[in-house]
Structure 1
């Protein structure tokens, strides 16, 4: 039996560093078998997961020796943090390690959607020359609405300003006198509807809580600037997907880039599949080679300290 159980993929060098001192069971596809996780966790003192391993009371009850959980990412909605606290289990997210990766993903999505010129490869290979249909817009001069001015929201802000965009932000967790507003020189918008009405692109960077579930719903999409774009790299539940589909089908908004979904993994029968103007990626905004190394190294360090 193992000291450390790792149920999803982790940087190999980080895994090797943990093996130098601990008995490690590393199975990157183990998240697909909750029963096997429970069976293997009986002797484990540490558990390392991403977002597809559900750490609920059932799993915690099966792991009585557990003292630490490492999260290879920042969202904790798959981990019952209250139950962990009751049991004295420390939870360590990889805060800050994937900020650059997500920020660059958002900037890429902004440019791709505004320009609208990256869909014509197949038509060109078929002999067409759709030049007049591919005239898009520039990011410079457009307004980016950031929902959630945490570390990632601030990193996106910095890069968007470098493109000449005006940035406005709404953050229900930051008070009006928080120094973040002065430090970023971002115009604070409150309520959320005010931001939606002026933004050419809206990018979401808030955790999924009871208060933020379906924060972007039918009324919010109706309030968005006509033809605006939506980017969600936060959590799928922040967006009401049915309302989004209606907004796309009606042409109320110009498009959306979704990296996260209410139910993951996305399946072929999802209603999102046929929605127009929709860019889909498999929860990969925070995953680059560089981010993987930083995340793995950070969590390995924290787990080693917790078990020392």
Structure 2
């Protein structure tokens, strides 16, 4: 019986993925968390906690190193809300190019009177906009969301330039052949009418779009950030707008620096806030958690490598351990000394930690308990589990 604890409102369709072998929110010492935006940095992880599944792409609210020290795998759900973010980006581009916010505000504040129709016809010319057709958009980052945005802009008749130095084979397959590939951000943005950013936030991308990059854009460029707060330097944006070196700025992340600026539109972090996206992410998170708890396979982890292999043997030993020399040697030597035959072994590392799965023959419960106890005594090992194949 596995125990699952949820934080925030998790879509019921996701929780429905858990079967009779699971209990939801019945203990504070669960096997796994399902979360959305709750901040876990000051949270004390129970030792029994084997997994944290974030129902969404961002995971800045989870302390990854602290989780690893506890032997806890952290998952996210990349692509689960990608379509929702894509649609909001496209909507923002249309809103920006057609002056929709200013026009709607004028209509809402117009004083009623007999000449309202005449005044509307006279004033509407001040809200003349431009069409997306034929315009150039630079898409920085071509992952799940960026690739959808790029393809959709192409369908709208726009010229699309993409930049992603870490483009994966999987992402490349999703992209249309008609998207131009830039070799640098400067090359991507120099002729762009729109620049939209879709990269993960890390040390390398924090402040990615700042003074130097903005200086390479056209003065009327519309900049969009629906990725993460901090990827675009808000102070640089405000200065560029004031000096008419940038057209407008649309973002999903509020910050005191950009408040009360007529050239900036701030959404209240609603990029992934659709019913469909919440259901998709909850289902993905639940399925990944079930797969890990029952088979040991890791899919979409953000603090350990993805490791997956068919579970066909009687038992599977899984270990989270530090990525240091002779770990596999120590583990296999111990198992050989106990007369346990290794039928299959998979080991992958990510930065300072590694994950090992070892498939073995049938052993009794007493031997399983002894194996777990002894392998846990290896100083660099943070968690050992033995799973039984469901036949």
Same fold (TM over 0.5): yes
Once the two structures are superposed, the pairs formed by residues 248-263 of structure 1 within 5 Å of their partners are: 248-261=241-254
In structure 1, distance between residues paired with 2:38 and 2:170: 35
- Structure 1 regions of 5+ residues with no counterpart? 27-39
1:207 paired residue number? 200
Preserved CA contact (<8 Å) 1:53 1:78? yes
Higher Cα radius of gyration = 2
Once the two structures are superposed, the pairs formed by residues 1-308 of structure 1 within 5 Å of their partners are: 3-18=3-18, 21-25=21-25, 41=28, 43-50=29-36, 52-56=37-41, 58-59=42-43, 61-125=44-108, 126=110, 127=116, 128-129=119-120, 130-174=123-167, 180=172, 183-185=175-177, 186-261=179-254, 270-308=256-294
In structure 2, distance between residues paired with 1:287 and 1:5: 22
More strand by share: 2
How many positions carry a matched residue from both structures?
282
How many Å apart are 1:140 and its aligned residue? 0.7
* Other structure's SS at 1:257 match: strand
Moved more, 276-285 or 200-209: 276-285
In structure 2, distance between residues paired with 1:228 and 1:159: 19
Distance 1:179 1:287, change over 3 A: closer
Two-structure CA RMSD over aligned residues (Å): 2.5
More helix by share: 1
* Other structure's SS at 1:9 match: coil
Could you say which structure has the greater relative contact order, defined with CA pairs below 8 angstroms and 6 or more residues apart?
1
How many Å apart are 1:44 and its aligned residue? 2.1
* Other structure's SS at 1:146 match: strand
Preserved CA contact (<8 Å) 2:147 2:171? no
Distance 1:25 1:182, change over 3 A: closer
Preserved CA contact (<8 Å) 1:181 1:188? no
- Structure 2 regions of 5+ residues with no counterpart? 111-115, 295-391
How many Å apart are 1:14 and its aligned residue? 2.3
TM-score, normalised by the number of residues in structure 1? 0.83
How many Å apart are 1:181 and its aligned residue? 8.1
How many Å apart are 1:258 and its aligned residue? 0.6
- Output one character per residue of 1:64-94: Cα deviation in whole Å (capped at 9) or x when no partner: 1110111111122332334433443222211
Preserved CA contact (<8 Å) 1:55 1:78? yes
In structure 2, distance between residues paired with 1:277 and 1:173: 32
* Other structure's SS at 1:149 match: coil
Moved more, 14-23 or 289-298: 14-23
How many Å apart are 1:19 and its aligned residue? 8.1
